[in-house]
Chains A and B, each alone.
Chain A
Amino acid sequence: MASADKPINTDVPEKDVFTLHFLQSLSNLRRQNTFNSPEKTNDRVKKIKKAAYVSMARAAGGTNRLWSRALLRRAAKENSKVVRFPRRKKRVTCLRRRRSNRRDPVEEEEAERLRNLVPGGGGMETSKLMEETAHYIKCLSMQVKVMQCLVDGLAPK
């Protein structure tokens, strides 16, 4: 059995890191598209949203976190790009969910819903899922703050 690790690490970098990544991705978007052409708003929304998530994943942990890896992999698949993951010491990705009935049926329903929400949740055990959720929540709230600041700064008078 695994040894007990006492400190659960859920540190999240500062606001500047998130802003930096987000703005870089947005400026990339600018360079790709010409905004003079009347684009459908929906497409733009989707692109911005995807850029937001990808930049968040990169800012938050890169490939050190399960959810960010899953997010980046999913995004790369959509763009048909190749994402290179550096070799890790621990085998984090290949954790198969064991088909044993040691799970509490009451909490597993909720855990299933959580798995659908958090990227990469499908392959995690419940305890690992909760760690990842904690980190994900922190990063999401940071990203929301950054975007809110941006919107407020750019809002017309």
Chain B
Amino acid sequence: MDKETEENLNCLLPFGDGNDAMMISDFVGRFCDTQEISLHSISDNFPVGFPYLGHFGHSQVQESNKSSLLDPGSVSGTGKTRPNSRKRKESPASNSKEENNAAVAGKQNETEKSENKDEEKPSEPYKDYIHVRARRGQATDSHSIAERARREKISARMKLLQDLVPGCNRITGKAVMLDEIINYVESLQRQVQFLSMKLATINPRTEFNTANAMLSAEMLQLGESLSCSESRFPSEYLPVGKNILSEGFVQAEAPAFWENDLQSIVHMGFRDYQQQSINCSEPTVQMKIEPER
């Protein structure tokens, strides 16, 4: 190493003697051999690394610094300015060393951390794992980081479910929330069961052709809902609905004359039930069907 670099390194050291500079220049040289990083970028690193020399003892931090400097270099050849502050989910061997460093880095200011994360994230879009920075005062075990990520995922989804299940705005806490969700799903399934029972008992009672009756009844209700929605929503639903109705039911039932009946029913539905609510509990629906038959 030339005199100039040694001098630079010596200046950067807040404490320590020339020996330190030798050791540091040694591994800087090693680093420079493997990577093409200018001295300036390395010297930018050193103010980060050096304060820890005093806290944790020289050799230990050097090792961790070394490993952190080398490891990110081996993975990504882009000369990052702060590689030793990055935590990556790699093999556990390198993980432990980097975690030491991350623990060390965790004592930094949080503003520095956040801006680091910002400048690292956009520059690595091709990586397919998350770079997580250990938060202040929390464990940096790889397991616990993964655990935390998982817990956050679950809580995000719990929030989603909370919006779905009615009456769960006040409830906080996973156990109670999950109880509510389970109850709601059970009640919905029971409702399906109950309604299918009702349908089964209703159907054989109708005198005329059940399929036609049901389909036409449904057409009417759909017509109602479509017409009501027409007043509220944009009218693109209406032609779509009509397409579905015309295409779908041609497929389901063959006779051609029946289509004309349907058309007339639907038109009647549109005209007469335009004002009524979407809630389709209309006994007058039956009245309209019977004269058609």
**Contacts from A to B (Cβ < 8 Å):** 1, 3-4, 8, 10, 14-17, 19-20, 23-24, 26-27, 30-31, 35, 41, 44-45, 48-49, 52-53, 102, 104, 106-107, 110-111, 113-114, 117-118, 126-127, 130-131, 133-134, 136-138, 140-141, 143-144, 147-157
Contact = CB atoms under 8 A, between A and B. Distances in A.
Interface of B: 89, 128-130, 143, 146-147, 149-151, 153-154, 156-158, 160-161, 164-165, 174-175, 178-179, 181-182, 184-186, 188-189, 191-193, 195-206, 210-211, 213-215, 217-218, 220-222, 225, 237, 241, 244-245, 248, 251-253, 280-283, 285-286
Contacts of B237: 14
Contact of B222 (A16, A130, A136, A154): A16
A17 to B, nearest CB: 8
Contact of A154 (B153, B196, B202, B248): B202
Contact of B206 (A118, A144, A154): A154
A70 to B, nearest CB: 15
A152 B185 contact: no
Chain A at the B interface: mostly helix, strand, loop or mixed? helix
B89 A1 contact: yes
Nearest to B198: A151
A24 B250 CA distance: 11
A106 B176 CA distance: 11
Given A114-B181, A137-B164, A156-B205, A49 B193 contact: yes
Contacts of A52: 192, 195-196
